[in-house]
Structure 1
């Protein structure tokens, strides 16, 4: 059996498909830029076709299992080597995985016609990748970093559950909550490693003390409460205890963020945006808890979009830009187009969260949020696409 290094050496195809992060980051960005305007056409009642295809379920599914799943897979094809010593998917296998993802997107567009066949096609992508992750994890005989394997596997199950809801409407929102919860927990977990690590490296380069707080019992406790709160939200979404735990989780994540001293790195956009993404994660969980306890004062949709557009949108863009530059041999620095990407993503999240609190201009804020979101990802595709499609460039 060939090693990962041999597989990569033998690969002779386009640079775009040499590593998983390259095609998945690019295609995920293009998909994110296109899907929101399509959904908005349906939401605003423009066009007969849009109302049939671009339903609310399609919108939710494609943001969670289309866009976000692609970014997660792209990142884990790189990060997996840190956990197991091998890339879970490399070389020609990347092409197969990308094809599974792309066919899944087409199947979802044809869902009104294909029905359960579309569901089967779409489900394959995460099932195959979860299997690849477990294969490498078992081969490594190390269980220290098994959490990502579990999360991706549960995400695959949530996707299957999402399709089952078409048959069993009573559980309609449970798989949706499960998917959002899993992704947010992944941000809390892996983001909790990346944010202080990159902040510490930046501070060391600039000889700034004290460093961000090291991982300790407090962090473990906060992650435990976050996991418990999210799990309760999935199965018991309206319970008061769920709301309380989510507020405590949000507060705990915010305290973690303060302990990492993010204000020090405000001049380095590529590090600062990681703190912003984690901030949205903390704020979103606290808002979600508050919306359960005081629904008359805080709309649940505002909390969901603080998590979906704010935490997921900001953190995925932060990871995509940093990983793309780092793993294509470029300086890890946020240039003007990159800062524009971050600014537009922040505007998309802010306007979408504020929209339910400003009903007289609700449609206008939705349009502004959608335009900001699509522009952010269109700029990413335009600026980072050539980097991702070309061979490695030596750092200068």
Structure 2
């Protein structure tokens, strides 16, 4: 472990990035609710929906991804973690991107794009150096996904600069994040489930990663790519829809092999399964929406991924990693269960808002409140653990 005698907040990558990621997730949606109700104007001069999508997909998500990977990569490679001033510098790059987007009306668009996309580029350099130096070839796809997330963000800005709606960049960012969940979540969900079951009551255990998992991930990635490109290339609509439906079915089979029904007594484990369950749900809803040209179904699928899979999985990983790396018991107290349920309920309400347009305003409002409660709750409960030294 690299010695760091400064603030505990800079002693490991998960500490600052989980803290700012959780706080920003709640803040963005709180501002979005205020914008929707007319209580305030959208930050910057972007269309409100573009700001909302960008700051969640390319602001909140990369912060949590950074926190997770800066903590996991040293374990994968056996190399020292990024700590101290280099870590603070990386946080500063992320903050500069957020400030640039908020001041978009005062700065040239190209300058905003450069500052905003600097974070995934810098993160990829940090991670790439460690993965390559450690000859950890197995995790090159993770590095590739971070690079692709930066490309998606650049595409988002290019669409905005050309005066169009940044649909392709937004979709590609969501698709890449869902891919990361199928890749990394596909390792940690069965692994943590197996470890917990072995301590409690062995019996039947989750099926380890094998060729079936690789096939499901690859097929799902192709379906996600076609889905992301649909606004640009409407030709493969039917193929995309069928691939998405097939991907949903295969991911359900994959998850069933992890025995989610055996995890009931421990929320720190079952929440991982609940979060992953939104992945196949998103595939199925999106596929049905594409095949039937039903915008409501498509939006329901998109938000099953964005709020359910991404939102709940990030919360699940942040709580577990924080407890584990700060010396707290690997069990979820009732307050932590409450934040899980708040975000899970937010996901269901947001899906319902897309499917029942007549009730969209109250459902959107309730979904936003649930999301804010979950992530502000995380900051209140886990912030003290993140800023203090290991218990």
TM-score range, shorter chain: over 0.9
Taking a change above 3 Å as real, the CA distance of residues 80 and 87 of structure 1, as seen in their structure-2 partners, is farther
Aligned to 1:265: 263
> Does 94-103 or 319-328 show the bigger shift?
94-103
Aligned to 2:100: 107
Alpha-carbon distance in 1 for matches of 2:379, 2:246: 37
> Does 53-62 or 291-300 show the bigger shift?
291-300
> Structure 1, residues 176-218: CA drift from partner, whole Å, max 9, x if none?
1111111000000110111100111111111331111122222
Alpha-carbon distance in 2 for matches of 1:368, 1:341: 15
Alpha-carbon distance in 2 for matches of 1:152, 1:33: 23
Alpha-carbon distance in 2 for matches of 1:55, 1:179: 18
Aligned to 1:330: 328
Aligned to 1:383: 381
> Does 297-306 or 254-263 show the bigger shift?
297-306
2:16 matches 1:20: no
Secondary structure, in 3 states, of the residue corresponding to 1:244? helix
- 154, 168, 175: which one pairs with 1:174? 168
Pairing of 1:241-252 with structure 2 (within 5 A): 241-252=239-250
Q: CA RMSD in A?
A: 1.7
Aligned to 2:27: 34
- 59, 63, 75: which one pairs with 2:68? 75
- 53, 56, 75: which one pairs with 2:49? 56
Instruction: Compute the displacement of 1:21 (Å).
Output: 0.3
Secondary structure, in 3 states, of the residue corresponding to 1:153? helix
Secondary structure, in 3 states, of the residue corresponding to 2:9? helix
Aligned to 1:65: 58
Taking a change above 3 Å as real, the CA distance of residues 31 and 171 of structure 1, as seen in their structure-2 partners, is closer
Taking a change above 3 Å as real, the CA distance of residues 363 and 54 of structure 1, as seen in their structure-2 partners, is same
Instruction: Compute the displacement of 1:41 (Å).
Output: 2.3
Residue 65 of structure 1 contacts residue 159 of structure 1 at CA under 8 Å; is this kept in 2? yes
> Does 40-49 or 298-307 show the bigger shift?
40-49
2:187 matches 1:193: yes
Taking a change above 3 Å as real, the CA distance of residues 235 and 339 of structure 1, as seen in their structure-2 partners, is same
Instruction: Compute the displacement of 1:298 (Å).
Output: 4.6
2:283 matches 1:290: no
Structure 1, unaligned runs of 5 or more: none
Alpha-carbon distance in 1 for matches of 2:41, 2:75: 48
Residue 45 of structure 1 contacts residue 51 of structure 1 at CA under 8 Å; is this kept in 2? no
Alpha-carbon distance in 2 for matches of 1:50, 1:121: 16
Secondary structure, in 3 states, of the residue corresponding to 1:354? helix
Pairing of 1:309-348 with structure 2 (within 5 A): 309-348=307-346
2:156 matches 1:162: yes
Residue 39 of structure 1 contacts residue 50 of structure 1 at CA under 8 Å; is this kept in 2? no
Residue 263 of structure 2 contacts residue 270 of structure 2 at CA under 8 Å; is this kept in 1? yes
Alpha-carbon distance in 2 for matches of 1:210, 1:28: 36
Residue 32 of structure 2 contacts residue 52 of structure 2 at CA under 8 Å; is this kept in 1? yes
Alpha-carbon distance in 2 for matches of 1:392, 1:168: 49
> Does 294-303 or 255-264 show the bigger shift?
294-303
> Does 178-187 or 47-56 show the bigger shift?
47-56
> Structure 1, residues 234-284: CA drift from partner, whole Å, max 9, x if none?
223551000100111111111111111111111100000000111001111
Taking a change above 3 Å as real, the CA distance of residues 297 and 96 of structure 1, as seen in their structure-2 partners, is closer
2:218 matches 1:224: yes
Alpha-carbon distance in 2 for matches of 1:100, 1:326: 27
Aligned positions, number: 386
Residue 355 of structure 1 contacts residue 362 of structure 1 at CA under 8 Å; is this kept in 2? yes
Alpha-carbon distance in 2 for matches of 1:54, 1:27: 24
> Does 316-325 or 128-137 show the bigger shift?
128-137
Taking a change above 3 Å as real, the CA distance of residues 73 and 50 of structure 1, as seen in their structure-2 partners, is closer
- Scaled by the length of structure 1, what TM-score is found? 0.94
Instruction: Compute the displacement of 1:170 (Å).
Output: 5.6
Instruction: Compute the displacement of 1:317 (Å).
Output: 0.3
Structure 2, unaligned runs of 5 or more: none
- Scaled by the length of structure 2, what TM-score is found? 0.95
Residue 288 of structure 2 contacts residue 297 of structure 2 at CA under 8 Å; is this kept in 1? no
> Structure 1, residues 1-26: CA drift from partner, whole Å, max 9, x if none?
xxxx3xx21x2221011111001101
Residue 88 of structure 1 contacts residue 133 of structure 1 at CA under 8 Å; is this kept in 2? no
Secondary structure, in 3 states, of the residue corresponding to 2:262? helix
Aligned to 2:85: 92
Alpha-carbon distance in 1 for matches of 2:111, 2:250: 43
- 115, 123, 126: which one pairs with 1:129? 123
